[in-house]
Amino acid sequence: MDASRGQAAGRRRFHIRHPARLHFRRGLSSASGADRAERGPVRHRARHGQNHFPKGKQMRKLIKKILPAPLRQRAVKYIERRRRDIAFRQLFDDLQALKAGMKPAAAGDRLSRLLIVAGDPIRLFGSLGDDAMITATLQHARASNPDVEIDILVDGMDYADSAYQRGFVPVDIFGKPDFIKALAQQFATRQYDSVVVVGADVMDGYYHPLVSAKLLASADLAAAAGIKNVILGFSFNETPHAPLAMFYRSLHPECALKVRDTISLERLQTFAKTNAALVSDSAFSLVPSEPDEGTRSWIARKRAEGYRVMGFNLHPMLFKNADHAQTEAVIRHAAEALQFAVDARPVCWLLIPHDYRDNVGDQAYLKAIAERVPASRTDRVRYLDGKWSAPVLKGVAGQLDGLVSGRMHLAIAALGKGVPAICIAYQGKFEGLYQHFGLSAADLLSPSSFLTQDGIKSALIEFIDQSDEIRENVGKKLPEILAMSKRNFQLFETFPARASVLS
C-alpha cells in the first residue's frame, strides 16, 4: 500500500459511522423542509442523538473501548461538532420555513408589551455590561409607557429571581429544541409591540455560535411577524463563525440591526450584506444611580486631601489559559504597578469589579491585588466591596478622575460621564470604542503588559499625566456619542410617550 492510499485508509477508518448515522445523514439531505417540519418529535430525537447513535456518556464509553488514547479526544470533539452543526442547520431551516408562511400583523400605536432577548439568557445580569444595556432598554421603554409589561427570554430558571426583582417576567424557551416554533407561539400568545435583542459582543459566534443564531432569529422572526424590533448596537470581531452568514443574508428587510462602531460595521458588511446602521453603545444611554455612601465619602475625602481618585479593573478573561504561575504573576505585577503609581503621583485607586459571575468575574483578581498592597498604602488603594448594579457603578465611574479598565462597559460608564479612560484590550472590540472618541488604538493596553515586571508601570504614569488632556478630548466628542446611542432606541419613539423617566 502506498503512502497516499494508507492515509486515505486511515481517514476512512476514523470516519466510519454507525449505519443508522449514515441513514440519518441521507434523510437530512433528501427530505424537504416541510417533511422535516412534520417529523418534529423524530427530528428532535435525532438531533440530540436519541435514535441514531449513543448519547454522550455511552458514546464516550464506546470510543474509549475501540479507539487508542490519542484519537479519543479528536473523536469526541468531532461528534460534538457534528451535533452542533446539525442543530445549527436545523434552526436555520425551521426559521426559513416558518417565516415563509407568516403574515405580518398590523403594528400597534402603543407600547404595551415588550420582549427582551438577552445576550446571556442563563445569568441575564451577571455581566454588568449586559445589565447596563438591559436596564437602558427598560428605562427607555418606560419613558414611552411606565406601565409597559416586559418579558425576557431565559434558558432555565436558575436566575429567574433576578428577573422578577427588576420587574421582568422570565420566559423559559431559549433552550428548547424547537425554539423557533416556541418563539412564534410566544409572539402569538403575548402579542408583543416590540422585541429588543441585546447584541453586545455575541453576534459573531465567537463565544457560542448557536446562541448568536438564536439572537438573530429572534429579531428576524419578529420582523416577519410585523413586530417592531431592534438588535441593539453590537461589535463584530475579525473571525466570525462562517455559517452565521446565512442567517445575516436572509434577514427580513424590517429587521433593524445596530452596530456600535465603524470597525465592526465594516467587518459585518464584509461578512454579509445587511441594512445595519451605525450607532454607539446602548449603555451610553444608561441613566446612573447614586453610589453608596461609603464610596462617595471616601472619594470626597481623598479628593479633599489633594489626591486624584482613579478607578482600576482587571479580570481573568484577559488571560485565557493562564496557569497558576502566570495568574500569580499578573496579580503581583498589577499590585506593584498600583503601588508604584501611588508613590510617584498623588493618586488613589478604587478597584471596581464589573462582572460578578463565577470563574470569569472580576472579584478574585481585584481582591487579590488589594490584599497585596502594603498596610501603609491601604487607604489609597480601596476595593469596592459588595455587588452593585450597572446604574450604581456608572454613578461611581462618573465621580472618578480617570479609569483603567479591562471591561468595556465599565469604560463606557466612565466615558459616558466625561471621565477619561484607558482600556486593556481583548476580543477585538475596544478599537471601535476608541475611534468614536478620536483616541488612538495604539494607546490600548495589552494584557501581556501584566506578564512582565515593569510592563504596566510606565503606562499608568503616562495615563495619569495625560488624563486632563484626554478628558478635554472626550468632552468634545461626548454629545455626538450620546446622540448616536439614543438611535438604539428609535423604535420606542414610534410610540407616543405618556411620561418620561429619563434625564
pLDDT band of 487, cuts 50, 70, 90: very high
Q: Round the CA-based radius of gyration of the chain to a whole number and report it.
A: 25
The predicted structure's pLDDT at residue 369: 96
CATH number at residue 303: 3.40.50.2000
Return the axis-axis angle of helices 69-100 and 3-15, rounded to nearest 10°.
60
Residue 399 — φ and ψ, nearest 5°?
-95, 0
| Chain position carrying cell 435525532 | 46
Given 76, 100, 124, which residue is the final one in a domain? 100
pLDDT band of 4, cuts 50, 70, 90: very low
DSSP designation for 104: P
Identify whether residues 266 and 331 lie together within a single domain: no
Identify whether residues 321 and 465 lie together within a single domain: yes
Mean pLDDT along residues 285-312: 97
Identify whether residues 418 and 375 lie together within a single domain: yes
The three cell numbers locating residue 334: 498589577
Identify whether residues 327 and 429 lie together within a single domain: yes
The predicted structure's pLDDT at residue 84: 86
Among the residue ranges 12-21, 117-126, 284-293, 351-360, the one predicted with the least confidence is 12-21
Range of the domain at 145: 113-278
The predicted structure's pLDDT at residue 2: 44
CB 424 within 8 A of CB 383: no
CB 73 within 8 A of CB 79: no
Query: Secondary structure of the chain: what % helix, strand, coil (to 5)?
Result: 55, 10, 35
The predicted structure's pLDDT at residue 442: 85
For 444, residues 6+ apart whose C-beta sits below 8 A from its C-beta are 422, 423, 424, 425, 430, 431, 434
Query: Is 6 a domain residue?
Result: no
Identify whether residues 96 and 126 lie together within a single domain: no
The predicted structure's pLDDT at residue 114: 98
pLDDT in tens, 323-367: 999 999 999 999 999 999 999 999 999 999 999 988 788 999 999
Identify whether residues 242 and 327 lie together within a single domain: no
Maximum distance among all alpha carbons in the chain?
A: 84
Query: Is 107 a domain residue?
Result: no
Query: Is 285 a domain residue?
Result: no
CATH number at residue 201: 3.40.50
Mean pLDDT along residues 389-413: 97
Identify whether residues 304 and 412 lie together within a single domain: yes
Query: What type of residue is 223?
Result: A
Given 100, 130, 148, which residue is the final one in a domain? 100
pLDDT in tens, 82-99: 888 899 999 999 999 999
Exposure pattern of 209-224 as b/e (b: 16+ CB <10 Å)? bbbbbbbbbbbbbbbb
The predicted structure's pLDDT at residue 498: 62
Query: Is 171 a domain residue?
Result: yes
Distance CA 447, CA 119 (A): 25
Distance CA 258, CA 487 (A): 8
Given 252, 278, 304, which residue is the final one in a domain? 278
DSSP designation for 416: T
Identify whether residues 162 and 218 lie together within a single domain: yes
The predicted structure's pLDDT at residue 381: 97
Average pLDDT in the chain: 87
Identify whether residues 20 and 133 lie together within a single domain: no
For 418, residues 6+ apart whose C-beta sits below 8 A from its C-beta are 398, 471, 474, 475, 478
- Pairing mode, strands 381-383 and 347-351: parallel
Query: What type of residue is 36?
Result: R
The predicted structure's pLDDT at residue 453: 76
Instruction: Using the Cα atoms of residue 92, residue 204, residue 198 and residue 84 in order, give the sign of their dihedral.
Output: positive
CB atoms within 10 A of CB 2: 7
pLDDT band of 61, cuts 50, 70, 90: low
Query: Is 503 a domain residue?
Result: no
Query: Is 252 a domain residue?
Result: yes
Identify whether residues 96 and 207 lie together within a single domain: no
- Whether the pLDDT of residue 37 is over 70: the answer is no
Identify whether residues 333 and 357 lie together within a single domain: yes
Identify whether residues 44 and 90 lie together within a single domain: yes
Distance CA 204, CA 207 (A): 8
Mean pLDDT along residues 232-242: 95
Mean pLDDT along residues 362-389: 94
Query: Is 489 a domain residue?
Result: no
Mean pLDDT along residues 408-429: 91
How many distinct structural domains can be found in the chain?
Answer: 3
Query: Is 65 a domain residue?
Result: yes
The predicted structure's pLDDT at residue 62: 65
DSSP designation for 183: H
pLDDT band of 107, cuts 50, 70, 90: confident
pTM, two decimals, is 0.82
